[in-house]
Amino acid sequence: MSESKLMKTLATYDRRWVYLTLFIVVTIPLLRPIGMPISVSPDTKQYYDVISSVKEGDHVLFTLNTEFSGYNEIQSGVIASMRIFIEHGCKICVAVGHPEATGIPELIFNQLKKELVENGYEYGRDYVILGYVMPNEASVAAMAQNFHGAITQDWLGRPIDDTFLAEINTWEDWDLIADFTTGLATSYLMNHFALRGTPMTVNCIGVMIASQKPYVDTGVYKAILQSMRGGAELEYLTGHPGPGLTAMDAFTFGHYMLILFIIAGNIGYYGYTKKQMGGE
């Protein structure tokens, strides 16, 4: 192919080639994993230190403010964090902020069955699933100010009076809010819990990182775990490889693919498009 034809191709290729290439570079490493090394960022180390500092009997509000699509991205962080809380013997209350997320707690506890059994976890005494209790800011505020006034049953309609939640009245009774989010009720939790002094950590999707970092900087959030990469780093730190680490091969190739396409487009631009514009 002559140079000018090559430049024209690089400048005017059909976008579906990008779609196809992305599909291939993501699918193949997932079908045939390679196992690439990973470094751990300071943010993940800070997150790990914060959630590892919980003590036995601490009350943790584990909030899933994510649709199912977002869960696919942050599930490595979700599973790794829940494992840490179980191994530390915390009392865990799972609440969700989106109707699609009502099926997620079941997936989490199915994957951690072994840990639940090893640590003698019993539903009601050690963990409770509340279901969809955060549809809007008013419901989160009600939970913070008068927990039993807002919530009386778990997700299957069973009363929570004889669970560990009988000890919870207001925001002061929680030892940690561990939020896993695509941006739904996170700001409400921040406003009505974290700003009042309840420690809060966030595991967010990549899109939210820039908007959430200012809150970490001001100390409102104690730590942040960033997207799938952060989840993979947490799996590495905890010594329990999982979906995050498995996905890093595809992650790597996806990033390289984008860089190569941008470079190719710029070569095409300078080698063909700009000359065409100059000629006109």
Partner 1 sequence: MVTIIDYSIAIVGAFLAMCMFSTLYGKSSPLYALAEESYIGFGTGLTIVINAEYIWRTGIVNIMKGDYILILALILGAMILFRIHPEYNYVARIPIAIALGAQFGLSLRTIIFSGFTQQIIATIVPLFEGDAVTLLYRWTVALSVIFMMTFFFYSIELKGPLAASAKLGEYFLYTAFGAIFAQTFMGRLGLFVGFMQSFTIPPWKKPILVASMIIVFALVVIMDRTGIIEKYTPSE
Partner 2 sequence: MAEILKNRELQLIAMALAFLLVFIPYFVESPALDAASTKLITITAIVNAVTLILALNSQIRRGLNIIRMRRRGWYFKAYMIATMILMVVFAFFGRETGPYHWVMYAVINPLSSVNYGILAFYMASTAARAFRARNTQAMLLLATGFIVLLYQAPLTGAYAPWLEPIALYFGDTFGMAAGRMFLISVTVGAIVFGVRVLLGKEPTVLGIGREKVDE
Q: Which residues bind partner 1 (CB under 8 A)?
A: 16, 19, 22, 26-27, 30-31, 69-75, 99-100, 102, 131-133, 135, 137-139, 141, 149-153, 157, 187, 190-192, 195, 205-210, 214-215, 217-218, 220, 226-229, 243, 246-247, 250-251, 254-255, 258
Q: Which of 201, 55, 58, 65 is nearest to 126 (CA)?
A: 58
To partner 2, the closest distance from the beta carbon of 58 in angstroms equals: 25
**Binding at 87: pick from partner 2, partner 1, none (beta carbon under 5-8 Å per type):** none
Task: Check binding of 28 to partner 2 (CB under 8 A).
Answer: no
Q: Between 89 and 269, whose beta carbon lies closer to partner 2? A: 269
CA angle 98, 163, 121 (to 5 degrees): 85
Q: Between 19 and 123, whose beta carbon lies closer to partner 1? A: 19
To partner 1, the closest distance from the beta carbon of 84 in angstroms equals: 21
Angstrom distance (rounded) from CA 84 to CA 65: 20
Q: Are 237 and 52 in contact (CB under 8 A)?
A: no
Angstrom distance (rounded) from CA 226 to CA 214: 14
x-marked contacts with partner 2 along 232-251 as a string, rule CB under 8 A: x---------------x--x
**Binding at 35: pick from partner 1, partner 2, none (beta carbon under 5-8 Å per type):** none
Phi-psi region of 38 (alpha: psi -120 to 50; beta: other; left: phi over 0): beta
Angstrom distance (rounded) from CA 112 to CA 105: 11
To partner 2, the closest distance from the beta carbon of 7 in angstroms equals: 14
**Binding at 38: pick from partner 2, partner 1, none (beta carbon under 5-8 Å per type):** partner 2
Helices (H), the chain: 3-12, 16-31, 42-52, 68-87, 104-111, 113-118, 137-145, 147-150, 186-192, 209-217, 227-238, 243-268, 274-279
To partner 1, the closest distance from the beta carbon of 168 in angstroms equals: 16
Q: Between 159 and 214, whose beta carbon lies closer to partner 2? A: 214
DSSP notation for 77-144: HHHHHHHHHHHTT-EEEEEESSGGGGGHHHHHHHHTHHHHHHTT--BTTTEEEEEE--SSHHHHHHHH
Residue from 136, 152, 169, 276 that binds partner 2 (CB under 8 A)?
Answer: 136
Contact region for partner 2 (CB under 8 A) — 50-58, 81-89, 146-154, 161-169?
146-154
- Using a 10 angstrom Cβ sphere, with 0-12 exposed, 13-18 middle and 19 or more buried, the burial of residue 91 is buried
Applying the rule CB under 8 A, the residues between 200 and 219 that interact with partner 2 are: 209-214, 217
Contact region for partner 2 (CB under 8 A) — 47-55, 76-84, 108-116, 261-269?
261-269
235 CB-side CA count, 13 A: 23
Angstrom distance (rounded) from CA 24 to CA 17: 11
Which residues are near partner 2 by CB under 8 A?
15, 18-19, 22, 36-39, 41-42, 67-70, 72, 100, 102-103, 106, 135-136, 138-139, 141-142, 145-146, 149-150, 156, 209-214, 217, 229, 232, 248, 251-252, 254-259, 261-262, 264-266, 269
